[in-house]
Amino acid sequence: MTHDTTPDATPEATPHEAAPHEATPREIDLRGIEMATLVEHARVAIEAARSGESVRVLADNEVVVKYLTPTAATSGVRCRFGPAQDGIWSIDLSPRT
């Protein structure tokens, strides 16, 4: 199951596959990052998406998902994610169009 924080969600590619019309997103790997700096790294991903870039965040800490989801929604950023695979979340951030 994929979650989309946009109010007008439409079926999209799975988190690991970019739709044919989308460029491959830049990947930001937050696996193994210390909690003290984790949110700051997540903010960088949000800002990149706000600036028009598609970003895929990989995380092994659920805090990242819990932070990115509401922050994206209030920042004008589209956020899609699915259940963790082998303990790793893949969160796609992109500008709302």
State the CATH number of the domain containing residue 53.
Answer: 3.30.110.40
Res 14: pLDDT: 36
Q: Could you tell me if residue 5 is inside a domain?
A: no
Q: What are phi and psi of 56, to 5 degrees?
A: -115, 125
In a domain, 4, yes or no: no
What are the distances in angstroms from CA 14 to CA 20, 38, 69, 76?
12, 25, 17, 21
CB atoms within 10 A of CB 49: 26
Q: Is the pTM of this model over 0.95?
A: no
23 pLDDT band (50/70/90 cuts)? low
- 52 membership: H or E segment, kind and range: none
Q: Would you say residue 53 lies in a domain? A: yes
**Inside any domain, residue 14:** no
Domain that holds residue 84: 20-95
Total count of domains within the chain: 1
